[in-house]
Amino acid sequence: MNKNAQALFDLNGRVAIVTGGAKGIGRGIAQNLALTGAAVVIADVDETENAICQEMIEDADGKALAVTCDMADESAINNLVETALTRFGTLDIVVNNAAIYPMSPIAEMTTELWDQVLSVNLRGVFLLTRAAMPHLKAAGKHGRLINISSIDTWKSYVGMGHYDASKGGMEAFTRSCALELAEFGVTANVIAPGAVKTPGSLTVRGNLASERGEPNTEKVDAEFAARIPFGHWADEQDIGQATVLLATPASHYITGQTIYVDGGLKLTM
């Protein structure tokens, strides 16, 4: 590969924040951004897993900093941005990935649960984006806002009304961000994963298997995989690699878009 081609996917000198970055999809995103040269600030409420992710990246000769951060806490979010700037001097890429999805039918959903989910999944996205915006603008053509949504915005599931609402709001919010950031050369896009095998999805799959009286998730997983044109679930690295694409110079003219990373699942819905 010649130097010009390499430059299209080079993030050396760039600094990224990845929320919910300690495990699952967030870990895949953090690892892949670091692999492409970015210094990654891993923001998560799980201090132990956060430290493990930082160590994994550093063991692979990457640059990382773990910061414990609750996306429902405005002061913690502001501190996250300041910590990133203090450590690395700039902020070029923000990936809003952190999300919660405690399942509940709408008729049984408490106001407190609704508020909790929207606080992390949508309000937190707004707070971090607002805090980071001056720095993304200063980054200019290197600036990237990447929000991780879900295929749930295309097809909803019972028990996920609060989550679906938060992700739908995130997608609309991202389009507004794209308009406000365009004059600075900064892009804002959404990645909507399909079926991904993560610790979080394991809980949902386990609940479904339990309801069906099955001892494990193997049958549930196989049935769902059969619906995906590629024939298998995604893993965290698949979403991480798609995030790299949107973070690099190769995507400089893509903004305001939702990109489904789902192995074709949306086509079957």
Residue 94 pLDDT class (50, 70, 90 cuts): very high
Residue 175 pLDDT class (50, 70, 90 cuts): very high
In order of 153, 193, 230, the CA distances from 113 in angstroms are: 19, 24, 35
What residues have CB less than 8 Å from 73, skipping those under 6 apart? none
Q: What is the mean pLDDT of residues 6-21?
A: 94
What is the residue type of 125? V
Q: What is the mean pLDDT of residues 149-165?
A: 92
Q: What is the mean pLDDT of residues 211-230?
A: 81
Q: Check residue 221 and give its pLDDT.
A: 80
Question: Residue 174: pLDDT above 90?
Answer: yes
Question: Residue 210: pLDDT above 70?
Answer: no
Structure tokens at 20: 């919910």
Question: Residue 155: pLDDT above 90?
Answer: no
Q: Check residue 4 and give its pLDDT.
A: 72
Q: Check residue 222 and give its pLDDT.
A: 84
At 31, give phi and psi (nearest 5°).
Answer: -65, -40
Q: Is 163 a catalytic residue?
A: yes
Q: Check residue 204 and give its pLDDT.
A: 67
What residues have CB less than 8 Å from 94, skipping those under 6 apart? 16, 17, 128, 129, 132, 136, 144, 145, 146
CA angle (27 as vertex; 26, 28 as ends), nearest 5: 90
Q: What is the mean pLDDT of residues 170-184?
A: 98
Q: In terms of pTM, does the model score above 0.85? A: yes
Question: Which residue among 157, 163, 253, 260 is the active-site one?
Answer: 163
Residue 2 pLDDT class (50, 70, 90 cuts): confident
Task: Report helix angle 74-88 to 124-139, nearest 10.
Answer: 30
